[in-house]
Amino acid sequence: MNKINNLGATAALLSGIIYGVNSIIVKIAHNEGVTTFDLLLYQFFFAFLWFGGRYLVIQKKLDNSRVHRKLIIKNPYNWIAAVTTVLTGLLYYSSIQLTDPSIASLGLFQYPWMLFLMGIIINKETIIFKNVFSVILIWTGTILLIGSTIQSMTIAGLIYGVAAGASFAMYLFSLQKITEHPVTKVFIITLAAILVAVFVMFKMNQLTIFTKDAFSYGLITAILGQILTFELTAYAAKRVSSVVMGTLTTTELPVAMILTWVIWGPIPTIIKIVGLLLMLFSILWLQYEQSKGEATRNYRNQES
């Protein structure tokens, strides 16, 4: 399978940018005393209200037969999407607690090549040199940009970070195969919210949900980190290949790093700037190739 769609690529690119902005909001929230579990509760609560409310508005126009509902429940990728969207956050959070944040990020951003392999092995996607080259550039740029030292690494922290990357790769891959029906998003968000509630039960002493900051940051991160990104990644996953999805969503890291430098500093080193430029070049190049391929195909269709 070799899917190329310009709008899908743009959606993947935008989702990465929004993920990057959202990560900065989360960091600001943490600095204000809001915990990860506060944010998770509000994120999935507001996401449930959004997707559930939208479904109730349009349900009369949809096929809500019992057979269709059974298909949604029986599709394993709907379940995988729900579990991995929660698991990614929890594993990444655990990694940050166990090691340097840059090591955690390095583990998380192994997901592009993992997603690439899933596409080749499971979807039988065609191996294209420019896609392989873009993944290599992204991987190299990530290492240079994060710029961690081996002394700050713990094995447990690295394992959790890589596990978070694997979980995120599975999440993005599963979105390619979720059931195409508005109630699917409600199903995924509801199941994810239940999982979050279960995890939170063991962290009740860390909750500060009844505060203005928790509510405000929870609402903002729900809009950015759950609603918009879910809509965009679900749209993109059905229209572009795994390697394109994995590469374009890595805009999260350069966006987050640039905003971090601007807000908190310090001035980046030459090595980090080179890593940033490598990532941006790879992302923009692949986006250009996608746009060029789409334009060529449209021209051929008009000629025929």
- pLDDT string in tens for the chain (304-residue length): 444 567 888 898 899 899 889 888 888 888 888 888 888 889 889 998 998 888 887 776 665 556 567 788 899 999 999 999 999 888 887 787 677 666 777 788 788 888 888 888 888 877 777 777 877 888 888 778 776 555 566 788 888 888 999 999 999 899 889 888 778 888 899 999 899 888 888 878 778 888 899 999 999 999 998 899 989 988 988 888 777 787 788 888 788 888 888 888 778 888 888 888 888 888 777 666 655 655 455 445 555 5
108 vs 164: CA distance, rounded Å? 5
Looking at residue 238, what is its pLDDT? 83
pTM over 0.85: no
How many Cα neighbours within 13 Å face the side chain of 219? 6
Identify the pLDDT of residue 65: 57
pLDDT at residue number 171? 92
Of the candidates 6, 1, 62, the one whose C-alpha atom is nearest the C-alpha of residue 235 is 6
Sorted by where each begins, the domain ranges of the chain are 6-298
- Per DSSP, the three-state class of 203 is coil
Q: How many residues does the chain have?
A: 304
* Phi, psi for 154 (deg, rounded to 5): -120, 145
- Report the amino acid identity of residue 262: V
| Backbone φ, ψ for residue 82 (5° rounding) | -65, -45
The pLDDT of residue 84: 94
Residue 101 has a pLDDT of 65
Q: Which of 61, 15, 22, 40 is nearest to 240 (CA)?
A: 15
Q: Write out the H or E segment, with its range, that includes residue 54.
A: helix 36-58
State the DSSP code for 46: H
Sign of the CA dihedral running 197, 218, 250, 94? negative
Asked if 193 and 45 count as a contact pair (C-beta separation under 8 A), the reply is: yes
* Residue 99 near residue 154 (C-beta atoms within 8 A): yes
Q: Is the dihedral of CA 155, 160, 166, 169 positive or negative?
A: negative
pLDDT recorded at residue 82: 93
